[in-house]
C-alpha cells in the first residue's frame, strides 16, 4: 500500500543555517503521526516544506505517490491535503458559515464567480453546515467569526481544512493557547472526529501527554535531523530522546 | 422607515434632481456623480482587498484621454468612446497591477503612486500627442451630451451600473475570496486561493470603472487635462471613500456628494477650502473613523 505522505531526504537551509538535514518521513494510511522535538528542531520548517511554502534545497515530498515539491500552497491543498494552523486563523470579517462556505467553494475552484451571491450557493452552504456539524459548531453558524473564543476558532479552522475532503490532515499544534480543560476536550474531539472519518493525521504538539494519547507513531526531530521514530512506547523509553529533551 | 422606502425616496430625489436644481447646482451634482463613480471604483480595491491605491488618477485620466483623443483625432462620437475608455483604463490597470499587487501595504501604495506620476509626466510633456500641459480642449460631445440634464442622467446611469457591479461583486464568492485574502493571506492560500490572480482581477476591474468616470469628466469639462492624472486626483477618491466610510458600499458615493457639495459651497464664499477640508478630515478621523456611514450605526453595513 502506498504511503499517504512520503517525505524523502529533505534538506533545507537558511543563510547557511541548516534547518532540515536529510529528513525522511512516511505516514501510513489511517495513522495519527506526531512530529515532536524541542523548539528549533525543524518541525515548522518541515510543515512549511510539506505545504509548499518553502521549497526544499534537496529531496521531495509525495502525497499518495504524487509529487508535491514545487507546487504552491493553493495547489497542494487542492490535491488532498488539509491544513490547520497553529494560531487559529479564520476570516474575521465573515460569519462562521461564510468562512466554511468559502473554503468549500475554493476547494472546488468556484470562487471566480462574481455575479451570483455567495448566499445562493446552496450546495456549498449545505456542505459547510455539515462540516460545522462535524466540529460541533452548527449552532454558531450565523455568528461573526470574530466573536468566537479561541477553542471554537480552532474548530472552524479544522472544518475549513476538511472542506476539500483531504486524505491527509496537517495540524500544527492544535492545543496551543488552550486551557487545560479545553485541551482535554480538543484531544477527545480530534480522536472521535478524525478516527470516525478514517483520516490520516500528521501533527505537531508540545503537550507530551496529548501526543502519547493521540499518536500511533512518533517522529522525533532534533537539530534538523530525525532522532528517532517509532511507536509511542518505544519513543518514551528511548534514551536519546530523553536526553535530547532534558538537555534543552 | 423601512429600507425599501429609503431607497425609493433617494431614487426619486436623484431622478428628479435636474428638474428642481438650479443650473449651477446641476453642474455640481454631475461633478459629484463623477467623483462618486470614481471613488466607488477606487473603493473596490481599498475596501475588498485592503490595498490603498494612490494611483487611480492614472486610470481616470487614461479613460479621459482615450475619449478626448478619439474625438479630436478620429472624430468618434462621444458615446462610442465609452467602451474604448473602459478598455484602455482597464489595460493600464492590468499592467500597473501586475507589478504592484504582489507587494504589500505601503509598498503597494508607493508603487501605484509612482506609476501614476510616471503616466502623468508623459501626458504632461508629450505635446505632439496629448497636447502637454495645454490638455485637449474644445471638444463637443454633441448637442445632447452638451446638455447638462442629459449628461446628469448619463452620469447617474453609469454610476448606478458601477455601483451595482461593485455590490454584486461584494456579495459574490469572488468578493468573499478577496476579503479572505485581505483578512488572512496565509489562510486564504491554505484553503486553495491564490492571491495574485484575485488581486489583479479586482485591480483591473477597479481601473476600468475609474476609466468610465474619466469618460464622464471629458463631457463635463469638454476637455481633458493632465490634472486628471495628477496625484491629487487620486487623493480625491481616497478622501471621498474615507469621508463617507470605506466599509459601507454606498460610503464613497456619500463621501463624494459631501466632498463636492461642501467644496462648492465653501469655495463660493471663501478662499480657504483646503483649510476647511483639513479641519473636516481631522474631525472625521478623530471622532468618526467609520466615516459618515458610521453615523447610521451599522459599522459594517452591507448593501
Express each pLDDT in B108-144 by its tens digit. 999 999 999 999 999 999 988 888 888 888 888 877 7
pLDDT at B299 over 60: no
Q: Which value does ipTM take for this structure?
A: 0.90
Taking alpha carbons only, the member of A206, A172, A85, A127 closest to residue B187 is: A85
B267 touches chain A (CB under 8 A): no
Residue B246 lies in a domain: no
Are the beta carbons of B191 and A85 separated by less than 8 Å?
A: no
Residue B180 placed within a domain: yes
Top-confidence residue, B156 or A248: B156
Indicate whether B295 belongs to any domain: no
Looking at CA atoms only, how far is residue B233 from chain A in angstroms?
28
Interface contact A102-B177, CB threshold 8 A:
yes
Mean pLDDT of B44-64: 96
Considering CB atoms only, which of A83, A117, A118 is closest to B190?
Answer: A83
Closest CA of chain B from A244, distance in Å: 32
Residues 6+ apart with CB under 8 A from B295: B288
B190–A77 C-beta distance less than 8 A: yes
Quick check: B172 and A77 CB within 8 A? no
pLDDT level of residue B303 (50, 70, 90 thresholds)? very low
Q: What Cα–Cα distance (Å) separates residue B76 from each residue in B68, B71, B81, B138, B283?
A: 9, 5, 7, 14, 46
Instruction: Look at residue B244 and tell me if it is in a domain.
Output: no
User: B82: domain range?
Assistant: 21-230
What domains appear along chain A, each with residue ranges and CATH number?
5-90+166-246 (3.40.50.300), 95-147 (no CATH)
pLDDT at A11: 92
Which A residues, 50 through 79, put their C-beta within 8 Å of a C-beta on chain B?
Answer: 51, 72-74, 77-78
Nearest by CB: A107 against B169, B183, B191 = B191
Distance from CA of A132 to the nearest CA of B (A): 16
> Cβ B173–A110 below 8 Å, yes or no?
yes
Nearest alpha-carbon partner for B63 in B44, B45, B89:
B89
Query: CA dist A15 to A114, B112, B257, Å?
Result: 43, 32, 55
CA nearest A87 in B: which residue?
B187
Identify whether B73 is part of a domain.
yes
* Under 8 Å between Cβ of B203 and B62: no
Residue given cell 454606498 in the structure block: B250
Chain B interface disruption, residue of A71, A86, A106, A172, most B CBs within 10 A: A106
**For chain A, how many helices (H) and strands (E)?**
9, 10
User: What is chain A's pLDDT, residue by residue, as a tens digit (248 residues)?
Assistant: 678 899 999 999 999 898 899 999 999 999 999 999 888 888 889 999 999 999 999 999 999 988 888 899 999 988 889 998 777 678 999 999 999 999 999 998 888 888 889 998 999 999 999 999 999 999 999 999 999 988 899 999 999 999 989 999 999 988 888 888 889 888 998 998 888 888 999 999 888 888 988 999 999 999 888 888 888 888 888 878 777 776 54
Cβ contact (<8 Å) for A83 and B184?
Answer: no
pLDDT above 70 (res B49): yes
Distance from CA of A248 to the nearest CA of B (A): 31
Q: What share of chain B is helix, strand, coil (3-state, %, to 5)?
A: 80, 0, 20
Percentage of the residues of chain B whose pLDDT score is greater than 90: 68
**Predicted pLDDT at A113:** 85
Strand partners, A67: A62
Q: Residue B301 above 80 pLDDT?
A: no
Contact A124, B221 (CB under 8 A): no
Number of domains in chain B: 1
Of B4 and B302, which is predicted with more confidence? B4
Q: CB–CB of A98 and B172 under 8 A?
A: no
C-alpha cell at B52: 490603498
* Distance separating alpha carbons of residues A18 and A20, to the nearest angstrom: 6
Task: Select from B173, B177, B300 the Cβ nearest to the Cβ of A121.
Answer: B173
Instruction: Tell me the backbone φ, ψ of residue B54, rounded to 5 degrees.
Output: -110, 25
Q: How far apart are CA A19 and CA A42, in angstroms?
A: 6
| Conformation bin of residue A40: beta by default, left when phi > 0, alpha when psi is -120 to 50 | left
Question: Any CB–CB contact under 8 A between A106 and chain B?
Answer: yes
Contact B179 A91 (CB under 8 A): yes
- Taking the C-alpha atoms of residue B193 and residue B201, their distance in angstroms, rounded to an integer, is 13
Tell me whether residue B7 is in a domain. Answer: no
pLDDT in tens, B228-283: 999 999 999 999 999 999 889 999 999 999 999 999 889 888 888 889 989 988 88
Report the DSSP pairing between strands A168-172 and A81-84. parallel
CB-CB under 8 Å, B191 with A163? yes
Instruction: Give yes or no for a contact between B58 and B92, defined as CB atoms under 8 angstroms apart.
Output: yes
Backbone angles phi, psi at B219, to 5 degrees: -70, -35
pLDDT of residue A246: 61
Residue B297 confidence (pLDDT) above 70 = no
Candidates B171, B190, B191; nearest CB to A117: B171
Amino acid at each position: 500500500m502506498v504511503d499517504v505522505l512520503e517525505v524523502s531526504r529533505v534538506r533545507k537551509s537558511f543563510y547557511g543555517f541548516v534547518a532540515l538535514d536529510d529528513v525522511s518521513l512516511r505516514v501510513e494510511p489511517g495513522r495519527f503521526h506526531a512530529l515532536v522535538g524541542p523548539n528549533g528542531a525543524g518541525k515548522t520548517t518541515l510543515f512549511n516544506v510539506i505545504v509548499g511554502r518553502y521549497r526544499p534545497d534537496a529531496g521531495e515530498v509525495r502525497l499518495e505517490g504524487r509529487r508535491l515539491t514545487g507546487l504552491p500552497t493553493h495547489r497542494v491543498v487542492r490535491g488532498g491535503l488539509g491544513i490547520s494552523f497553529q494560531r487559529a486563523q479564520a476570516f474575521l470579517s465573515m460569519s462562521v458559515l461564510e468562512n466554511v462556505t468559502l473554503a468549500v467553494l475554493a476547494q472546488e475552484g468556484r470562487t471566480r464567480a462574481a455575479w451570483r451571491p455567495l448566499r445562493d450557493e446552496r450546495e456549498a452552504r449545505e456542505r459547510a453546515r455539515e462540516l460545522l456539524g462535524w466540529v460541533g459548531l452548527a449552532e454558531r453558524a450565523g455568528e461573526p467569526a470574530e466573536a468566537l473564543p479561541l477553542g471554537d476558532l480552532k474548530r472552524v479552522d479544522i472544518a475549513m481544512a476538511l472542506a476539500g475532503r483531504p486524505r491527509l490532515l496537517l495540524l500544527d499544534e492544535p492545543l496551543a493557547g488552550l486551557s487545560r480543560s479545553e485541551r482535554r476536550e480538543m484531544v477527545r474531539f480530534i480522536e472521535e472526529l478524525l478516527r470516525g472519518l478514517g483520516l490520516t493525521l500528521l501533527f505537531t504538539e508540545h503537550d507530551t501527554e496529548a501526543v502519547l494519547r493521540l499518536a500511533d507513531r512518533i517522529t522525533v526531530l532534533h537539530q534538523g535531523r530525525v532522532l528517532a521514530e517509532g511507536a509511542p512506547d518505544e519513543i518514551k523509553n528511548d534514551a536519546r530522546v530523553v536526553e535530547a529533551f532534558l538537555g534543552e | 422607515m423601512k429600507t425599501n422606502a429609503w431607497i425609493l425616496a433617494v431614487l426619486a430625489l436623484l431622478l428628479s434632481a435636474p428638474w428642481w436644481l438650479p443650473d449651477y447646482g446641476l453642474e455640481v451634482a454631475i461633478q459629484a456623480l463623477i467623483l462618486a463613480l470614481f471613488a466607488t471604483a477606487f473603493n473596490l480595491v481599498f475596501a475588498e482587498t485592503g490595498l490603498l491605491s494612490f494611483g487611480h488618477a492614472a486610470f481616470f485620466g487614461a479613460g479621459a484621454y482615450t475619449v478626448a483623443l478619439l474625438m479630436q483625432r478620429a472624430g468618434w462620437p462621444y458615446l462610442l468612446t465609452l467602451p474604448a475608455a473602459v478598455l484602455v483604463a482597464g489595460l493600464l490597470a492590468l499592467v500597473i497591477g501586475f507589478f504592484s499587487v504582489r507587494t504589500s501595504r505601503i509598498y503597494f501604495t508607493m508603487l501605484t503612486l509612482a506609476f501614476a506620476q510616471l503616466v502623468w509626466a508623459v501626458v504632461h510633456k508629450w505635446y505632439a500627442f496629448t497636447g502637454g500641459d495645454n490638455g485637449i480642449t474644445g471638444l463637443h460631445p454633441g448637442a445632447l451630451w452638451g446638455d447638462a440634464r442629459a449628461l446628469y442622467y448619463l452620469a447617474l446611469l453609469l454610476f448606478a451600473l458601477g455601483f451595482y457591479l461593485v455590490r454584486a461583486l461584494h456579495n459574490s464568492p469572488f468578493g468573499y475570496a478577496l476579503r479572505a485574502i485581505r483578512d488572512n493571506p496565509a489562510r486564504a492560500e491554505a484553503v486553495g486561493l491564490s492571491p495574485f490572480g484575485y488581486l489583479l482581477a479586482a485591480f483591473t476591474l477597479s481601473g476600468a470603472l475609474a476609466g468610465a468616470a474619466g469618460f464622464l469628466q471629458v463631457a463635463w469639462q469638454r476637455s481633458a487635462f493632465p490634472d486628471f492624472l495628477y496625484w491629487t486626483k487620486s487623493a480625491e477618491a481616497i478622501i471621498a471613500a474615507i469621508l463617507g466610510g470605506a466599509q459601507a458600499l454606498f460610503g464613497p458615493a456619500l463621501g463624494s456628494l459631501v466632498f463636492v457639495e461642501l467644496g462648492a459651497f465653501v469655495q463660493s464664499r471663501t478662499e480657504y477650502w483646503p483649510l476647511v477640508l483639513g479641519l473636516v478630515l481631522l474631525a472625521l478621523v478623530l471622532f468618526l473613523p467609520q466615516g459618515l456611514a458610521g453615523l447610521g450605526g451599522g459599522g459594517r453595513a452591507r448593501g
